[in-house]
Amino acid sequence: MPPDIHRPALLREHNFIAQQWRVAASGRVYTVSDPATGLDFAEVPDSGADDARAAVDAAHAAFPGWRARTARERAQFLKRWHALIIAHQEELGRLISREQGKPQHEGRGEVLYAASYVEWFAEEATRTYGDLIPEPVRGKKLMVVKEPVGVVAAITPWNFPAAMIARKIAPALAAGCTVVAKPAEDTPLTSLALVRLAEEAGIPHGVLNIVTASRANAPAVVDVWLADPRVRKITFTGSTAVGKHLARESAGTLKKLSLELGGNAPFIVFDDADLDAAVEGLMASKFRNGGQTCVCPNRVYVQDGVHDAFVGKLVARVAALRVGPASEPDSQIGPMINARAIEKIERHVADAVANGARVVTGGTRLRDSQRDGPHYYAPTVLVGAQAAMECSCEETFGPVVPVTRFHDEADVVREANATPFGLASYFYSRDIARVWRVADQLECGIVGINEGALAAESAPFGGVKESGYGREGSRYGLDDYMHTKYLCQGQL
């Protein structure tokens, strides 16, 4: 057991299927490693098709009973779960930092972020109103009711091991759906701990099921869910490539889909911006989780008149960031999640430099006695970034800020939109007419206007274009787990 998980009951190393903590049917396991050291510290089931099927059997059998509960009963369960998550903020936060690598204050913050979705959907559960439609002819009543879609398969990423699964499970349960879930290979332990707390909160038999699997075996699990007609919805956060695969493969049974996929967020600083606020906003949005979020700014455009001043202020802040393991309480940037992640960052920086960009600070992997793990990268600012560079075309997912100088508003908006992705965009300007003009023209699901911190349980999170579809959080987030049913009563 890792030394910093105080409550052994929260460290679960089994699947949870039909209210039982189980090993994989094959008996196989895989190891979970600490990204700060690269050392293994836990083992979880390496599940396969049999486990995936057993989870659906349980969720399918539980569905009629769960949907028949009143919304208030489902809300009460979610409120108990919320209270337990809050009560275990410290342990859960440490577990997140341990398996994912983010600094301790971010781990604790993520627990509150996750809990906020559970509380929000506990409240929304009781507000799934229908409609009464004015009848077009006498003698009829036209009504609309909302119904849960059925069994939901939730597939979640490693960058927010608590928040992403909470914002899928909570609306599903609130709507009356039952759930089968697979957390990311790298970070299964937080999700298992949350399910353990759901058990303690009294989740009924079969309503919530979770299976873990290694990268190699994940397709065996997911393929079962894709093919099974009893699974009526897939909700996924992760890469666009996997999202497209899920959309293609679920077409056979026409499942409902929510896909929260990759971004390539532009961050635009106009000449009329408050520069200090823009630097603060960029620091908050870019370096959250070490740059490993899908809404992190990936391309930073700064207008001619303020370019040099902005870069100067930014570099001073970035060079002062403290990089280190979560075990050091003052760390601000943790390790990257794994070797593939750090190799991608290195590739992007090398490509940018080879094509004319200049490193102003950082630009290397860190190897010193303080940070002797394999996954640390120095917070980096590049100037002279261009559209064709790899770092401008795909998410770097690391602590690298590529800055591009621009002259004209129309050109920068065109360039910001010149990507297949459309998740988040940010811009800083104090010109009110420009604020409305640019916000209107940016092709994305989320716009930060003079603001870098966008996440909130009450706001709709999701993208356009190849960043996916569906919304999480907010009052819109529940609709993704419900059908609209029309009832027409005659003979009145």
**Alpha-carbon distance 262 to 242, whole Å?**
10
**Alpha-carbon distance 127 to 26, whole Å?**
43
Determine the interface stretch with ligand SIN among 246-254, 292-300, 404-412, 432-440 (rule: CB under 6 A).
Answer: 292-300
Residue 475 Rama label (left phi>0; alpha psi -120 to 50; beta): alpha
Amino acid, res. 23: V
Residue position matching structure tokens 């609209």: 484
CB of 215 to ligand SIN, least distance (A): 18
Q: Which of 128, 209, 293, 380: binder of ligand SIN (CB under 6 A)? A: 293
- By CB under 6 A, the count of residues binding ligand SIN is 9
Annotated active-site residue 123? The verdict is no
**Alpha-carbon distance 124 to 136, whole Å?**
31
Residue closer to ligand SIN (CB basis): 34 or 106: 106
Determine the interface stretch with ligand SIN among 43-51, 62-70, 209-217, 288-296 (rule: CB under 6 A).
Answer: 288-296
Residue closer to ligand SIN (CB basis): 159 or 419: 159
Token pair belonging to 276: 């200090």
| Structural contact between residues 270 and 310, judged by C-beta atoms closer than 8 angstroms | no
**Alpha-carbon distance 474 to 452, whole Å?**
19
Q: How far is CA 200 from the centre of its chain?
A: 25
Please give the DSSP secondary-structure letter assigned to residue 365: B
**Alpha-carbon distance 28 to 37, whole Å?**
24
For the segment 142-161, give every residue that binds ligand SIN (CB under 6 A). 159-160
For the segment 163-202, give every residue that binds ligand SIN (CB under 6 A). 163
CB of 460 to ligand SIN, least distance (A): 12
Q: Which of 242, 278, 294, 345: binder of ligand SIN (CB under 6 A)? A: 294
For the segment 348-367, give every residue that binds ligand SIN (CB under 6 A). none
Choice among 177, 294, 391, 444 that is catalytic:
294
- Binding map of ligand SIN across residues 447-486, x = CB under 6 A, - = no contact: --------x-----x-------------------------
Determine the interface stretch with ligand SIN among 124-132, 136-144, 287-295, 403-411 (rule: CB under 6 A).
Answer: 287-295
**Alpha-carbon distance 153 to 257, whole Å?**
10
Choice among 91, 99, 185, 260 that is catalytic:
260
Amino acid, res. 137: V
Number of other CB atoms surrounding residue 43 within 10 Å: 13
Q: Which of 210, 283, 295, 318: binder of ligand SIN (CB under 6 A)? A: 295
Annotated active-site residue 135? The verdict is no
CB of 157 to ligand SIN, least distance (A): 6
What is the torsion angle, in degrees rounded to the nearest 10, for the CA atoms of residue 331, residue 332, residue 338 and residue 341? -150
Query: Is residue 52 at the binding interface for ligand SIN, with CB under 6 A as the rule?
Result: no
Residue closer to ligand SIN (CB basis): 66 or 160: 160
Determine the interface stretch with ligand SIN among 60-68, 78-86, 171-179, 290-298 (rule: CB under 6 A).
Answer: 290-298
Amino acid, res. 386: Q
**Alpha-carbon distance 153 to 164, whole Å?**
13
Q: Where are the alpha helices (DSSP H) in 5-146?
A: 49-68, 71-87, 89-100, 104-124
CB of 111 to ligand SIN, least distance (A): 14
Catalytic annotation, residues:
260, 294
Would you tell me which residues interact with ligand SIN (CB under 6 A)?
Answer: 159-160, 163, 237, 293-295, 455, 461
